[in-house]
Amino acid sequence: MTSRPTLTTESGAPVADNQNSQSAGPGGPLLIQDQQLIEKLARFNRERIPERVVHARGAGAYGYLEVTDDVTSFTHAAFLAEVGRRTEVFLRFSTVADSLGGADAVRDPRGFAVKFYTEEGNYDLVGNNTPVFFIKDPLKFPDFIHSQKRDPFTGVQEPDNVWDFWSRSPEATHQVTWLMGDRGIPASYRHMHGFGSHTYQWVNAEGRAHWVKYHFKSDQGIRCLTSEEAAELAGRDGDSHQQDLHRAIERGLFPSWTLYVQLMPVEDAAGYRFNPFDLTKVWPHADYPLQRVGRLVLDRNPDNIFAEVEQSAFSPNNFVPGIGPSPDKMLQGRLFAYGDAHRYRLGVNHTQLPVNAPHATTAVNNGRDGAMRFDGNGGRAKNYEPDGFGGPVQTGRPLAAGIEVAGATGNHAPVLHRDDDHFSQAGALFRLMGPAEQARLVANIAGGLSRVSDDAIVDRMVAHFRAADPAYGHAVEVAVKELRA
C-alpha cells in the first residue's frame, strides 16, 4: 500500500487530530491552545484576495509560440529571431465586466492576455477578442467601468447606466457594433480571435521602426452563440468556457492561433487619413495587409487555478528589446494602471510568483523588502545604481526607438541652458559663506568622507568640490587627509 504524506501545521509539525477541536472537558468550551483549530480558522479567513476590478472572471493555459515566418527585418526581439524558435507562453482569457463568480457565456468582450517567457525577460501582450475598444482616453476608463458594473443603489447592472454612458461617448459606437453583433458571445475561448488591439512599436537591428498591430486568428474557426443559446448555457453551466478549454487540453485537442501582424512604416502615421493610435479604429487590411509571424499553441493546463490563473499578472509595460509602446493614449494609461493593479492585489513582490517570474533570465534590480519577500532579497548586494561595487548596470540601449509623432516623444536629452551645470551654483554658495562658515562646512564634509574606505570615492567627491570652487575642493582634500592621518 502506498504511504500517504502526514498532515502538518503551517510550521511543519504533524497534526494529531483534524476532526475534533480540543475542549475543556467533553462538553466544555474550546481551548485557545488548539493550534490546529486557531491556525486553520485564521488562515481560512484570509484565503481570498481582492479580485480584479475588470477581467475578474478568467481561465488560462500554458503553451508556446513557434515562429513560422522571418520578421527580423522588422524587429530584433530575440524570441522572434529565427523560424522554428519556440517560446513558452501563458495565456489568460477573461470576461470584462462581471465578477469572479459570473458566468462565462455572456455578451461581453473577452480578454486575451499573453505572457511570453522570452530569453530577454517577460513580454506581456494584453488585448481582447476585438480589435477596438469603447474609449480612446484613459481618463474616461474609471467612468466607463462604473457604468458597466453593478449600480451602487440597486446592486445590479443597470441598462440605463450602460447605455447612458455609451450615448454620451460617441467613440464607443464601433465597439458597441462589435459587441452587439454575431461575434459578441463566443461559443468558447478556443473559437474566437485575439487582438493586441493597441498600436505598438517594432524596431529592427538597424534602428528602423514600424508601428504594429497584433492579430491572433483561431485555427479552430469562429463559433459564436445567439443571445438565447448563451442564456441557456449560462444557466446550465456557468463555467462553460473554462471547462471547454480545460477538457480540450486534457484530451490532447490543443487549441492554436496563427499570429499575424499589420506593420505601418513610422513615416506613414502623420499623414494617414485617421489617427493610427486611436484604439476605437482599425487599420484596414487593404492599407496594411496581415503578415504571418507564427503559431501559438496551448498544450498544458495549470496545476492550480489560484496560484497560476488568479495570481497571474500582465502589464503592457513589460517589453523586451525590439518592441515598445506607441502614442496610443489608452495604451499609455494602461502602462501604469495594470502594474499598479497587481501591486495592490498581489503585493509589490508579485513578479516573483512562479507564473509571473521570467524563466530564461533572472530579474536583477534594486527592489528590496515588501510583503511576502520569499527569495534571498538581494543578499549582500548594494541596492542602488550607479554604484562602485559591481552591481547591475544599465545597457544604454533603448528597447525601442524614441520617435517624434505629432508631438509624441521618446527619450530626449534635456535642452541645456547657458548655466546648466552641476557645480556653478554650489561654488557661488561656498563663496557667499564667511571663513568660519566655510571651515565648518569643510569639517562636516571631511568628517564623513574620511571614513570612506574606497579612495576612488573620495577622489571623485573632491573633484566635484574642486569643480565648484578650487579653494573648496582643496580645503576638503586637506581636511580629509588630516583626519585619516
* pTM score of the predicted model: 0.89
Identify the CA nearest to 469 among candidates 434, 431, 418, 432. 431
List binding-site positions: 338
Catalytic residue selected from 122, 128, 301, 356: 128
| Per-residue pLDDT reduced to its tens digit, 61-88 | 999 999 999 999 999 999 999 999 999 9
317 flagged as catalytic: no
C-alpha cell at 452: 570612506
CA distance 278 to 283: 10
Q: In DSSP terms, which residues pair with 292 in a beta bridge?
A: 260
Per the CB < 8 A criterion, the answer to whether 21 and 37 are in contact is yes
CA distance 169 to 411: 33
Q: Is residue 408 part of a domain?
A: no
Q: Tell me which residue range forms the domain holding 250.
A: 58-352
Look-up of cell digits 588630516: 482
For residues 27 and 81, membership in a common domain is answered with no
% of residues, the chain, pLDDT over 90:
85
Query: What average pLDDT does range 358-379 have in this prediction?
Result: 80
| Per-residue pLDDT reduced to its tens digit, 194-243 | 999 999 999 999 999 999 999 999 999 999 999 999 999 999 999 999 99
List binding-site positions for heme: 338
For residues 34 and 149, membership in a common domain is answered with no
DSSP 316: T
DSSP 408: B
Q: Is residue 449 part of a domain?
A: yes
55 flagged as catalytic: yes
Mean pLDDT, the chain, rounded, equals: 93
Single-letter amino acid code for the residue at 139: L
CATH of the domain at 24: 4.10.91.20
For residues 447 and 339, membership in a common domain is answered with no
Q: Is residue 386 part of a domain?
A: no
Strands 194-195 and 323-324: unpaired
Identify the CA nearest to 117 among candidates 324, 308, 358, 364. 358
Q: Is residue 378 part of a domain?
A: no
CA distance 304 to 131: 31
Catalytic residue selected from 18, 20, 45, 55: 55
- Report how many domains make up the chain: 3
Backbone angles phi, psi at 30, to 5 degrees: -80, 160
Q: Is residue 31 part of a domain?
A: yes
Instruction: Please report how many Cα atoms fall inside a 13 Å half-sphere around the Cα of residue 455, on the Cβ side.
Output: 2
Q: What sign has the CA pseudo-torsion 231, 233, 234, 236?
A: positive
For residues 267 and 342, membership in a common domain is answered with yes
